[in-house]
Amino acid sequence: MKSTIKYALMLIAAVALLGSCRGEDVIFIPEEVEVSTPEYTSIKGFYLLNEGNMGSNKATLDYYDYASGVYTRNIYGNANPSVPKEMGDVGNDLKIYGSKLYAVINCSNKIEVMDVATTKRIGQIDIPNCRYIRFHEGYAYVTSYAGPVEIRPDYTQKGFVAKIDTATLQEVDRCIVGFQPDELEIVDGKIYVANSGGYMVPRYENTVSVIDLATFAEIERIAIDINLHRVRCDRHGQLWVSSRGDYYDENSKLYCYDTRKKRITAKLDVPVSNMCLDGDSLYVVSAQWSYVTMSNEITNCIIDVNSHEVVCDNFIKDGTDAEIRIPYGVMVNPITKDIYVTDAKNYVNPGYLHCYGGDGIRKWSVRTGDIPAHFVFVGDEKQ
């Protein structure tokens, strides 16, 4: 009898000992990787926001420090150890205004506001389904998909632009725009908002909404193309607007809209996943699905905003562009002209950040979080 019990207990013990036991969940210690040699300019470093796949709650923040050449992964949790469930689900935009760092966390329905120097949390602004953020004279303007719902007879929901006082972090006004507004840009007292209509398939939106800053009311719609995504303004008052296309017959394209002449001045057959303006050069990266080859066609180029022409077909000159699976984010250092391109890989595994010199030769690569996407430089970009 005794031996029986002993035997039974041994069986239980055997199972218990087979693997390790559960420990406490420990605050993630940021991982530091030395990727390059020190570099001293007025730009001290950059933050990189990793989106993290939907539902994974894996939006993370990385930082690259030029003075040490050290890349640090996943710094938010350690900087803010008292925040439950860390930064959130799907980081969608990242900007600095004054001394604050604003991360738009799409599926957590909030904008996380942090101190630029320490990444410590200052507060959050609750905006449902928030997408992109821009600033103007003490106010933040944020696009959101989650405007008023209408049933007429089908369910529709317009988007809006929220106006937020950056001193109090309170939303002070809303302006309804088109369906599913994405990027926005502020030029000469007006906000230009790219409406996508991404939830309305196949009835995409095809307009840019123009909001008068003074009255904060929509004053105009400019028809460009379907499913608009990005809008960036160069120093000549030209808006560079990208269309995602319908993913079938209509390819992604790039348009130039002159805000002064009030007309489209160029239509380029250039697919756009992301883009970055540096002076008069527009750097574009893209992955476009082809139903012919059943694969993504990976491209990148530089466009001269004056001539509206592609001046460089592939700014990666050493052949390493072949290693990029899904180019997702792009950023150019305005001082050194180094180009940073992120690779989102398969969206669920960690991505990569590649740094190329102005000559197109890769300088270094580093692993990031999941879906590395949005950059912001820390320090003075004009020197």
Contact positions with another protein (CB under 8 A) in 203-222: none
Q: Judged by CB under 8 A, which of 272, 339, 355, 376 binds another protein?
A: 272
- If the CB atoms of residues 41 and 157 are measured against another protein, the closer one turns out to be 157
In what side-by-side order are the strands of the sheet with 228-233? 228-233, 238-243, 253-258, 263-268
In what side-by-side order are the strands of the sheet with 139-144? 130-136, 139-144, 160-165, 170-176
> Residue 353 pairs with which residues in a beta bridge?
342, 366
Q: Judged by CB under 8 A, which of 45, 178, 181, 245 binds another protein?
A: 245
- If the CB atoms of residues 82 and 215 are measured against another protein, the closer one turns out to be 82
Interaction pattern, residues 150-189, with another protein; x per rule: CB under 8 A: -----x-x--------------------------------
321 closest CA partner among 289, 278, 352: 352
Q: Judged by CB under 8 A, which of 36, 41, 68, 288 binds another protein?
A: 288
270 closest CA partner among 286, 249, 248, 247: 286
> Residue 29 pairs with which residues in a beta bridge?
none
Instruction: Verify binding: residue 35, another protein, rule CB under 8 A.
Output: no
- How would DSSP label each residue in 73-116? E--HHHH-TTSTT-S-S-EEEEEEETTEEEEEEGGGTEEEEEET
Q: Judged by CB under 8 A, which of 36, 39, 41, 56 binds another protein?
A: 56
- If the CB atoms of residues 213 and 353 are measured against another protein, the closer one turns out to be 353
The footprint of another protein on residues 70-129 (CB under 8 A) is 74, 81-89, 105, 107-110, 124, 126, 128-129
Instruction: Verify binding: residue 25, another protein, rule CB under 8 A.
Output: yes
Q: Judged by CB under 8 A, which of 159, 181, 334, 369 binds another protein?
A: 369
- If the CB atoms of residues 214 and 322 are measured against another protein, the closer one turns out to be 322
Instruction: Verify binding: residue 293, another protein, rule CB under 8 A.
Output: no
- If the CB atoms of residues 54 and 219 are measured against another protein, the closer one turns out to be 54
Is the link from the previous residue into 202 a cis peptide, with omega within 30 of 0? Answer: yes
DSSP conformational letter for 323: G
